[in-house]
Amino acid sequence: MTDNAYPKLAGGAPDLPALELEVLDYWSRDDTFRASIARRDGAPEYVFYDGPPFANGLPHYGHLLTGYVKDIVPRYRTMRGYKVERRFGWDTHGLPAELEVERQLGITDKSQIEAMGIAAFNDACRASVLRYTDEWQAYVTRQARWVDFDNDYKTLDLAYMESVIWAFKQLWDKGLAYEGYRVLPYCWRDETPLSNHELRMDDDVYQSRQDPAVTVGFKVVGGQPDNGLDGAYLLVWTTTPWTLPSNLAVAVSPDITYVQVQAGDRRFVLAEARLAAYARELGEEPVVLGTYRGAELLGTRYLPPFAYFMDWPNAFQVLAGDFVTTDDGTGIVHMAPAYGEDDMVVAEAVGIAPVTPVDSKGRFDVTVADYQGQHVFDANAQIVRDLKTQSGPAAVNGPVLIRHETYEHPYPHCWRCRNPLIYRSVSSWFVRVTDFRDRMVELNQQITWYPEHVKDGQFGKWLQGARDWSISRNRYWGTPIPVWKSDDPAYPRIDVYGSLDELERDFGVRPANLHRPYIDELTRPNPDDPTGRSTMRRIPDVLDVWFDSGSMPYAQVHYPFENLDWFQGHYPGDFIVEYIGQTRGWFYTLHVLATALFDRPAFKTCVAHGIVLGFDGQKMSKSLRNYPDVTEVFDRDGSDAMRWFLMASPILRGGNLIVTEQGIRDGVRQVLLPLWNTYSFLALYAPKVGTWRVDSVHVLDRYILAKLAVLRDDLSESMEVYDIPGACEHLRQFTEALTNWYVRRSRSRFWAEDADAIDTLHTVLEVTTRLAAPLLPLITEIIWRGLTRERSVHLTDWPAPDLLPSDADLVAAMDQVRDVCSAASSLRKAKKLRVRLPLPKLIVAVENPQLLRPFVDLIGDELNVKQVELTDAIDTYGRFELTVNARVAGPRLGKDVQAAIKAVKAGDGVINPDGTLLAGPAVPARASTPGWWPPTRSPPRRCPTAPGWSFWMAPSLPNSKPRAGPKIASANCKSCVSRPGWTFPTASGW
């Protein structure tokens, strides 16, 4: 390339992946990313928190999607003058890492880990996660994401872990951490409890499962003398027969009406409202022997179905439970306090301690000898058989099985190993979230959410019902809970440590590694034991991995041991982004710890995007192979193509997205190739490099420059509110105007080497590449460097508002000219009239013909029409009809869609000045971004409509039928309104 010419480009379609690799290589050699940070030294900082991914496997489309957003926003903010550090992080602890190592080593049981040694197992976990970090770096680099890997943080680092134990100590000192005995979701495969929020992260945690459901009668032995219940059977229904050996009570609602009925030679008690449900077993019209309010049944004694715990104090009586309903079952609830949250609360209130005959692996122990060693799910079948035959352990107390059925229901599964969970009483450490739950709700109001409905919807409602957080895990690879207890209950003592200094002070050794088993080796005599025989030993539990990641804002900089001033100036963060499930994961734990420790939100703005699905609409699965291979897409289409496909979709507004190869290729066709071809066209026909100029008087030059000024404003507005799909749509529309209108209508000027045209296109491409740089960082780098010969488009500033001339009237007029030409061309195509065939006349009916009058020659030339007639007599040539697109409107309007349909049919619609339709009585909220209805409003009836409400008539089409027009909306808007109602009079002559 000479100094006075554009680069010579190869003919034919560009090899975009190859060009991208050249850019990536250039960035590596030039250290462009570091330069982009350094040039903003001293500038205001924009604080971005990069949520750490689990380093237990390779990135998938969900990671790539989030990663693109994490790249676009910092690039944009950097161009706007901010300094944006982008420190990468790794979530290295917990079950994700442990299960990967178990898979590698063929481990299926915790006992195998104990046998090989905790040290060896944890060494394998460390090696595994560090191996994946290298592979992740290659993927992240290929997607053109700029991050600081050199100063990354890892949750396994000693400094990070010290900040985490500091956080725990702070909670303990504030009375917000405690040890309790609770019923929790429990994974018998991994032998550890889970927290409730982990059951709500992903839709597939609850999977459809078939379980045996039984209705069993427990014989009353202690009825009140005058109620006639002695010898009757209390009917209970359960979908967990395996919990029946642990039954200690039953619950009724004091306000429900219960009946005693005769069925054969037995009497049964159940809720009156449930009689019809048991007509097959009890008869269509059973004899009612007595009617009781639930309160009258309280204290009634019965024989349990199994006799394992007959002498258990206070057990086997009817208790009151506010959770009892008549929606299903019998209205009487079987309670096994060790395996039900509500059961435990009610039983504890009357002094019934739980029995726990199920071990950590989910198997019955010796206390239930008949089922000893059986897994609880496997034991269901034998328990049902014993109940049915009243044999074995069921023979003693004579329970009556009146129904056995298969019950299909959503059932929770472990989010990591995917096995069905059980609920089990365990000792665990908790954060006392309920103490500051209301404050979390208040602080949430200071956070800006996209989509906005997440604030008071999915996240806000979760906060309102937040429970105490179980943070201990009975595992190995994680941050240790820094609690030491006396090993002699006669001399109780608890010590909690929050720093290496505190540990060194009491144990005389400064730990170089806080992981197990090394931290477990720190012991000392119990200072409260005058005999000197008891020892302070650490409890074996490690912290929930979500406690690690929720500590990221301060732990990444080793706060409070270092960087106190830095942290105070960088907290809360300005921006975070992850998928919507993190409202129960990282977003939630960040908010819990921020509220508890600092009484502040952890972040100011949060984007919660939807879920990426395979091409079959199901969750992506390696076994199903229902998604394109990431590497193949990079190699075939390039990273910018994938970035555009993901970023231009509705997924960033909370919807889900099906990944298809065609969808990715459409991005190449719609934007990447048009941009490249425009640059190639300029390089081919310009005799020398163009000059920055905005003073051309040619109407097309003036139009495209003014249109570019609009693009600058629209992109700025969209990016400021994190509406990346809206920004993509603005860029796509401008690219369409640039390539299919300006360049095509100006070709003859370029062939003639017209300086105004060349300089204008040079200027337009220079500004466009800057505006598009965050969205398409690779192709814009190539084009911009070819145009300017400067270092990088990513080292430039965002175009200023006054950089380009504005002309709103010209843009409006020329856009309507383009619409006229598009509609008329569709008429030609519908009648198979080729463009080369001259037509005598085109009548354009619009509200303001004067707007188009200066352009009648241009319209005629574009359409090959000899005469263009403008008129405002719209009613003479046709009528305009609206219909509601129910398929699109339904999900948006919900139950109001029928009212909107009726209103439109009745003509009860008002077209507003901003181009929206108000149909029906509802008062619409105002859209915050033109052309985009953020999915954050309560259902609007007002929807974007066609620009200008003008239409164009071709009166010489014989016997024409109504022509179905296009949907009225931009691609990302999915408007609720379409326009099928164009009607044309008949005429002759064409």
Pick from 776, 764, 785: which is nearest to 673 by CA?
Answer: 776
Reduce the DSSP state of residue 374 to 3 states and report it. coil
Q: At which residue do the structure tokens 């420059």 appear?
A: 705
Question: What pLDDT is stored for residue 894 in this prediction?
Answer: 65
> Could you tell me the two tokens for 66?
């989030």
Q: Above 50 in pLDDT, residue 305?
A: yes
8 A C-beta contact, residue 843 and residue 852? no
DSSP state of 739: I
CATH domain 651-806 topology: Isoleucyl-tRNA Synthetase; Domain 1 (1.10.730)
Give CA–CA dist 585/579, Å, rounded: 10
Question: What pLDDT is stored for residue 394 in this prediction?
Answer: 85
Band of residue 351 on the pLDDT scale cut at 50, 70, 90: very high
Provide the H-helix boundaries in 331-436. Answer: 341-349, 376-389
Provide the H-helix boundaries in 186-339. Answer: 279-282, 294-297
Residue 948: CA count within 13 A, CB half-sphere: 22
Question: Which residues are known binding-site members for ATP?
Answer: 622
Q: Above 60 in pLDDT, residue 954?
A: no
Clarify whether 382 is annotated catalytic: no
Q: Above 60 in pLDDT, residue 389?
A: yes
Reduce the DSSP state of residue 485 to 3 states and report it. strand
Pick from 72, 141, 18, 135: which is nearest to 637 by CA?
Answer: 18
- Choosing from 327, 565, 622, 875, the catalytic residue is 622
Structural domain spans, the chain: 212-354+383-406, 486-535, 651-806, 833-990
Lay out the sheet containing 206-219: strands in order across.
287-293, 257-263, 266-271, 233-238, 206-219, 400-412
Q: Above 90 in pLDDT, residue 789?
A: yes
Sign, CA dihedral 316-318-321-324, equals: positive
Question: What pLDDT is stored for residue 913 in this prediction?
Answer: 62
Pick from 205, 937, 209: which is nearest to 585 by CA?
Answer: 205
Reduce the DSSP state of residue 579 to 3 states and report it. strand
Least confident residue range of 95-99, 198-202, 286-290: 198-202
Give CA–CA dist 390/862, Å, rounded: 90
383-388: list long-range contacts, CB under 8 Å, 24+ apart.
383/241, 383/242, 383/244, 383/245, 384/212, 384/214, 384/241, 387/214, 387/216, 387/241, 387/244, 387/305
**Average pLDDT value for residue range 12-16:** 90
Give CA–CA dist 259/661, Å, rounded: 63
- Choosing from 90, 172, 546, 933, the catalytic residue is 546
Reduce the DSSP state of residue 313 to 3 states and report it. coil
Sign, CA dihedral 67-69-74-79, equals: positive
Could you give phi then psi for residue 566, rounded to 5 degrees? Answer: -60, -45
Band of residue 951 on the pLDDT scale cut at 50, 70, 90: very low
Q: If you count them, how many residues does the chain have?
A: 990
Give the chain's mean pLDDT: 88
Give CA–CA dist 906/904, Å, rounded: 5
Give CA–CA dist 236/367, Å, rounded: 24
8 A C-beta contact, residue 357 and residue 364? yes
Q: 887-906 pLDDT, tens per residue? A: 666 655 666 777 777 777 77
Give CA–CA dist 863/452, Å, rounded: 45
DSSP state of 800: P
Least confident residue range of 82-96, 625-639, 712-726, 769-783: 625-639
Band of residue 157 on the pLDDT scale cut at 50, 70, 90: very high
**Average pLDDT value for residue range 931-943:** 28
Question: What pLDDT is stored for residue 3 in this prediction?
Answer: 67
**Bridge partners, residue 265, by sequence:** none
- Choosing from 374, 582, 670, 733, the catalytic residue is 582
> Could you tell me the two tokens for 169?
């100590």
Across 577-589, b (16+ Cβ under 10 Å) vs e yields: bbbbbbbbbbbbb
> Could you tell me the two tokens for 985?
């009079």
**Percent of the chain scored above 70 by pLDDT?**
89
8 A C-beta contact, residue 145 and residue 154? no
**Percent of the chain scored above 90 by pLDDT?**
73
- Choosing from 17, 52, 53, 955, the catalytic residue is 52
**Average pLDDT value for residue range 187-214:** 83
8 A C-beta contact, residue 165 and residue 471? no
Question: What pLDDT is stored for residue 988 in this prediction?
Answer: 25
Amino acid at 820: V
Q: Above 70 in pLDDT, residue 521?
A: yes
Q: Above 60 in pLDDT, residue 1?
A: no
Q: Above 90 in pLDDT, residue 853?
A: yes
Cα angle at 922 between 918 and 925, to 5 degrees? 75
Q: Above 80 in pLDDT, residue 593?
A: yes
Amino acid at 468: D
Least confident residue range of 468-472, 552-556, 731-735, 943-947: 943-947
> Could you tell me the two tokens for 205?
């945690």
Give CA–CA dist 986/990, Å, rounded: 11
Q: What is the DSSP string of 654-684?
A: T--EE--HHHHHHHIIIIIHHHHHHHHHHHH
- Choosing from 604, 619, 841, 905, the catalytic residue is 619
> Could you tell me the two tokens for 432?
């006392």
Amino acid at 858: L
8 A C-beta contact, residue 812 and residue 851? yes
Least confident residue range of 268-272, 358-362, 905-909: 905-909
Reduce the DSSP state of residue 982 to 3 states and report it. strand
Clarify whether 982 is annotated catalytic: no
Give CA–CA dist 321/616, Å, rounded: 45
Task: Choose which CATH entry (3.90.740.10, 3.90.1150.10, 3.30.360.10, 2.60.120.560) describes domain 212-354+383-406.
Answer: 3.90.740.10
Least confident residue range of 585-589, 632-636, 877-881: 877-881
**pTM confidence score:** 0.85
Give CA–CA dist 983/473, Å, rounded: 70
Q: 858-871 pLDDT, tens per residue? A: 999 999 999 999 99
Band of residue 935 on the pLDDT scale cut at 50, 70, 90: very low
Clarify whether 464 is annotated catalytic: no
Question: What pLDDT is stored for residue 914 in this prediction?
Answer: 56
Inter-CA distances, 979 with 450, 818, 945, 963, 972, Å: 31, 18, 9, 9, 18
Give CA–CA dist 305/319, Å, rounded: 17
Radius of gyration of the chain measured on its C-alpha atoms? 35
Q: 49-87 pLDDT, tens per residue? A: 999 888 777 788 888 999 999 999 999 999 999 999 999
Give CA–CA dist 82/710, Å, rounded: 23
484 φ/ψ sector (left φ>0, alpha ψ -120 to 50, else beta): beta
Contacts of residue 232, Cβ cutoff 8 Å, sequence gap at least 6 = 219, 220, 223, 260, 266, 267, 268, 269
Clarify whether 546 is annotated catalytic: yes
Cα of 917 vs its chain's centroid, Å: 31
Cα of 321 vs its chain's centroid, Å: 36
Q: What is the DSSP string of 685-738?
A: H-SS----------HHHHHHHHHHHHHHHHHHHHHHTT-HHHHHHHHHHHHHHI
> Could you tell me the two tokens for 470?
């179980």
Clarify whether 188 is annotated catalytic: no
Band of residue 950 on the pLDDT scale cut at 50, 70, 90: very low
Q: Above 90 in pLDDT, residue 4?
A: no
Question: What pLDDT is stored for residue 9 in this prediction?
Answer: 86
Clarify whether 622 is annotated catalytic: yes
Question: What pLDDT is stored for residue 228 in this prediction?
Answer: 86
Band of residue 225 on the pLDDT scale cut at 50, 70, 90: low
Give CA–CA dist 928/944, Å, rounded: 13
Inter-CA distances, 326 with 244, 320, 332, 333, Å: 21, 14, 9, 10
Which of 60-64, 419-423, 600-604, 614-618 has the largest mean confidence?
600-604
Band of residue 418 on the pLDDT scale cut at 50, 70, 90: confident
More confident residue, 937 or 24: 24
- Choosing from 91, 541, 544, 640, the catalytic residue is 91
Cα angle at 743 between 739 and 744, to 5 degrees? 90
Band of residue 732 on the pLDDT scale cut at 50, 70, 90: very high
Amino acid at 896: D
Question: Which residues are known binding-site members?
Answer: 622
**Average pLDDT value for residue range 658-679:** 92
Question: What pLDDT is stored for residue 940 in this prediction?
Answer: 28
> Could you tell me the two tokens for 563?
């960087």
Cα of 761 vs its chain's centroid, Å: 41
Clarify whether 528 is annotated catalytic: no
